[in-house]
């Protein structure tokens, strides 16, 4: 069984994907980490995020083992990721890895922006997770606060909107719900409620 979870920044898709994978005993790939790692490697090599050749070279040599790097988690890394993610060459270089991951025997859960549309168009279940801009910025704000980091809510809201626009408006694999995706709006849901709702959606699709 392949489950594709897509949606904008801080919609809750990562947390959901992780819990769904644990629930069904499937492997999980957070594909955003691949783009984050490409941006990290470009910068580490002294390159420019807008340099497509440097980004493609980084994408071709990105190592799965380097995806556990905690520095990939922050908002700067997410923003940098969305710059290299607009290049078709980068996306093409990361495609085989993602498809091979999805093809493992027991199945897998992948989350990102284009899983249901490009990476796994034949996924058994596709979910597009959304939440209002304000709810998503508030979640990011609380995450920062919990880590003792001082950031302004308004700045996070602006960042989220900018990144969404970049992901939505790009020509290559834009962030969009697949025509056969089930939609889940988590604006009013806490993590447990969102998880219950997504399990319900998956059951409605594949039967219990």
User: Contacts with ligand CDP in 20-59 (CB under 6 A)?
Assistant: 31-32, 35-36
The pair phi, psi for residue 148, each rounded to 5°, is: 75, 20
The pair phi, psi for residue 161, each rounded to 5°, is: -65, -40
Report H helices in the chain. 13-24, 32-44, 52-60, 75-84, 88-102, 133-146, 153-169, 191-206
Residue 12 sits in the site that holds ligand CDP (CB under 6 A): no
Site stretch for ligand CDP (CB under 6 A), options 16-24, 46-54, 106-114, 190-198:
106-114
Residue 167 sits in the site that holds ligand CDP (CB under 6 A): yes
Q: Are 77 and 70 in contact (CB under 8 A)?
A: no
Task: Pick the binder of ligand CDP from 12, 29, 112, 159 (CB under 6 A).
Answer: 112
Task: Pick the binder of ligand CDP from 14, 49, 130, 202 (CB under 6 A).
Answer: 14
Q: Are 112 and 6 in contact (CB under 8 A)?
A: yes
Residue 114 sits in the site that holds ligand CDP (CB under 6 A): yes
Instruction: Give the footprint of ligand CDP on this chain (CB under 6 A).
Output: 9-10, 14, 31-32, 35-36, 78, 81-82, 85, 112-114, 163, 167
């Amino acid at each position: 069984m392949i489950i594709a979870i897509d949606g904008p920044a801080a919609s809750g898709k990562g947390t959901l994907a992780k819990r769904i994978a644990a629930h069904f005993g499937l492997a999980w790939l957070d594909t955003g980490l691949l783009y984050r790692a490409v941006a990290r490697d470009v910068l580490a090599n002294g390159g420019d995020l807008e340099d497509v050749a440097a980004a493609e070279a980084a994408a071709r040599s990105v190592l799965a083992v380097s995806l556990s790097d905690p520095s990939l988690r922050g908002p700067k890394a997410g923003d940098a990721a969305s710059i290299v993610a607009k290049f078709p060459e980068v996306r093409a270089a990361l495609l085989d890895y993602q498809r091979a991951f999805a093809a493992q025997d027991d199945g897998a859960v992948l989350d990102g922006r284009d899983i249901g549309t490009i990476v796994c168009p034949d996924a058994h279940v596709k979910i597009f997770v959304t939440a209002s801009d304000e709810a998503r910025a508030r979640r990011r704000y609380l995450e920062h606060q919990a880590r003792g980091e001082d950031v302004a809510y308004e700045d996070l809201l602006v960042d989220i909107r900018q990144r969404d626009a970049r992901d939505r408006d790009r020509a290559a694999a834009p962030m969009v719900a697949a025509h056969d995706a089930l939609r889940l709006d988590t604006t009013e849901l806490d993590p447990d409620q969102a998880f219950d709702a997504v399990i319900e959606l998956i059951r409605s699709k594949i039967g219990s």
